Structure 1
């Protein structure tokens, strides 16, 4: 709900505007009020008075129905020569019997205040005549009921409607309710991963990092070694967590992958490798996404010769290693696009390459293809110490994370952990972990040093 706060606000603004426009554009209406008193004609003693009062109270509810009926409306239309039909006139009349009394309140509404008064007055006289006709037992009989006008029809001097601010208030409330309902519905229908707990549960592995969204990475995918921002701190936390996953046998050859493309795995792989070098480690970065290589371009180095040349026997490992960061980082670019990426990555030659890199480096970080679209990463998963799954906040579907984990499990691989990537700084996940604005980390960020 916190990430969808704008839906209730938008609903209130839209419907509030509609209510204001409707209230201002609608023609004013005026209401004339009149009131009737119902009594019995003869009351000789106290008992007659009591019985007459009960008789009158029983009659008023029926009379209220008569006042809004088409019979009486037809008489008023004929007497005043109105253009409207009896049915249309009944929609302008409201009658209500006052509880525990013999009074009936009647309101007549019309755009013309004088016509509203004339209709209300005529309605009163015609109503009295109609009651006399209905209650008189015979031609020479006497009606036991007497109807008296206690409040004559008044001439309204101010509109009874519309009241613009009433419309606005009602529409604002309706907009808020609809917006809240839309936010709840959208949350229920949202199948994407948005919190660390569900990411870890779906991956079947612990959360090893949260990387906050940094728009600058779109143009400059690598972070500087002395960067003190929250995103850089997220990569340093990822580095620390990976080192302590298994104190006795920490993972050395780590494959970075994702369920589908576009999750930011290459950015994570490159910046993790750079962050490891700031801690004094010798790191080899392998660009193993042979179909869509990104790492060499992110680091600003050529990638025409690389891993595929080594696996095809056309070059030696030492020939394609590109030293960076003063020699602490070595990059093996992807090289030319092969016709059979899956076979190359699952080959024994690939295992030999990884073993050679393992012997000469503290860490080997592999930027691997996504797990679900192609089978390239599946064969590679068994040759590494573990897989780190990159999950993009609000984009990766829960079922995709589950399927990615099952793919790794099916080939006998191991999911080391999950990284929740591109997390909005104000999202609940980042705040809960102490990474968001207002957290202790944000307040102390200027005091944190890299490494």
Structure 2
């Protein structure tokens, strides 16, 4: 994916991202509010070595020895040797292992210092334990580790540089940090969900995605609108609407594809990937838009499986194309004029058991040839190309096919497969019609929607 795809994914899922951020922040606050406070008290000790004489060599060696000893002593502090006497002196009913979990001892690099930190829910007890550790450890070093009990011959001494004091505020939980960390994790989760959604959801979300998936030219972008039986023919019902202007733009763009419009009749077939993507509505309105220019237009319902054109125009559906292909009627008998204009409709007629054979027959080719002598434009509404081969078969008799894709429902793999279905049979796909494109601030108010003055 390109950067624009990532940005589009984040914009599309902004509500999920914000929700995850708020949930993360709330979780951080809840955890902090339900976590018992803990206090920390720290004491600092110094490990010193008294040289046997005042020589400079002995002084340097003593300092090096003290630094090395401090590293070892920091590890000894959390052992039973030190903590058992501490627990006994303070009367704490716990063993050394449990007490060690509340004690840390560190030796800052290249120093003779040891810092002892005790964490406890009781601030007074935390300071008492830290101070008791320093006292017990000093005794243990002098009497057991570096000397003999009762003898004052240890050259190593432990001095308390800073005793522990009772902390006035808890060290944990840090509510501000917990909320910030929860919000950050929630934000990361939201972004991850948004990107995963973009990768897993193959539905086309924009016109750019549709064109990039096929490399077909975009002939028209029809905005999303609520369509019912009475408003499907927007070019006739609301000629000044933005939808109607979009169909007129599609009409204009057709003049630049499929050959020279001045060279006789032009024939187009329209199809989609799957049912319900708006192909029949698109072609019906395109036919109305072309008829507005004074051209004679015939709209053929070649969807011999689920015809809808006659229903859209409120015309008779029982006779039509199948009667002509079976030589039961002539074109003059079944062509129906819509309104007082130059638009004629050839309904599907009775549904046959072999639609593909009829549409790919020589009779179909001859029927189109006969219509070319009387009309300027022939529009053929065919079934979805991935469901059946009808559209690809009939496209061989036309100037080219128009492929409909619905933003928000058509999937990228389906669109590429539909294009491949036409190419396999030698059909020529001229361009793409994007249906249900999102309305934006740029197209919400146009000159075409203004009343005439």
TM-score, structure 1 length as denominator? 0.85
Question: What does the per-residue CA deviation read over 1:379-416, in whole Å, with 9 as the maximum and x for residues that have no partner?
Answer: 21212211111122343333322222222122221111
Structure 2 gaps of 5+ residues are 1-5
Secondary structure, counterpart of 1:160 in structure 2: coil
Report the counterpart of residue 177 of structure 2 in structure 1: 166
Report the counterpart of residue 233 of structure 1 in structure 2: 245
Provide the rounded CA distance (Å) in 2 between the counterparts of 1:270 and 1:85. 86
Secondary structure, counterpart of 2:251 in structure 1: helix
For the 8 Å contact 2:242–2:446, the answer to whether it is kept is no
Shift of 1:227: 4.5
Shift of 1:368: 0.8
Question: What does the per-residue CA deviation read over 1:209-238, in whole Å, with 9 as the maximum and x for residues that have no partner?
Answer: 222322446984332445555444332222
**Are 2:69 and 1:59 equivalent residues in the alignment?**
yes
Distance 1:284 1:98, change over 3 A: same
Report the counterpart of residue 336 of structure 1 in structure 2: 350
Structure 2 residue aligned with 1:347, among 342, 355, 361?
A: 361
Secondary structure, counterpart of 2:409 in structure 1: coil
For the 8 Å contact 2:242–2:449, the answer to whether it is kept is no
Provide the rounded CA distance (Å) in 1 between the counterparts of 2:229 and 2:81. 76
For the 8 Å contact 1:204–1:415, the answer to whether it is kept is no
Report the counterpart of residue 168 of structure 2 in structure 1: 157
For the 8 Å contact 2:138–2:158, the answer to whether it is kept is yes
Report the counterpart of residue 129 of structure 2 in structure 1: 119
For the 8 Å contact 2:22–2:183, the answer to whether it is kept is yes
Distance 1:405 1:114, change over 3 A: same
Shift of 1:157: 2.5
Secondary structure, counterpart of 1:280 in structure 2: coil
Q: Which moved more, 1:287-296 or 1:413-422?
A: 287-296
For the 8 Å contact 1:204–1:405, the answer to whether it is kept is no
Secondary structure, counterpart of 2:410 in structure 1: coil
Number of aligned positions between the proteins: 438
Distance 1:60 1:393, change over 3 A: farther
Report the counterpart of residue 3 of structure 2 in structure 1: none
For the 8 Å contact 2:320–2:348, the answer to whether it is kept is yes
For the 8 Å contact 1:229–1:445, the answer to whether it is kept is no
Q: Which moved more, 1:224-233 or 1:205-214?
A: 224-233
Report the counterpart of residue 401 of structure 1 in structure 2: 415
Shift of 1:446: 5.0
Question: What does the per-residue CA deviation read over 1:253-290, in whole Å, with 9 as the maximum and x for residues that have no partner?
Answer: 11111122232222222222222223333322222222
Q: Show the 5 A alignment for 1:167-206.
A: 167-194=178-205, 196=207, 199-200=210-211, 202-203=213-214, 205-206=216-217
Provide the rounded CA distance (Å) in 2 between the counterparts of 1:374 and 1:296. 21
Structure 1 gaps of 5+ residues are 426-435
RMSD: 3.1
**Are 2:282 and 1:272 equivalent residues in the alignment?**
no
**Are 2:41 and 1:29 equivalent residues in the alignment?**
no
Shift of 1:327: 2.8
**Are 2:341 and 1:327 equivalent residues in the alignment?**
yes
For the 8 Å contact 1:200–1:417, the answer to whether it is kept is no
For the 8 Å contact 2:295–2:377, the answer to whether it is kept is yes
For the 8 Å contact 1:9–1:179, the answer to whether it is kept is yes
Report the counterpart of residue 324 of structure 2 in structure 1: 310
Report the counterpart of residue 254 of structure 2 in structure 1: 242
**Are 2:310 and 1:296 equivalent residues in the alignment?**
yes
Report the counterpart of residue 428 of structure 1 in structure 2: none
Secondary structure, counterpart of 2:47 in structure 1: strand
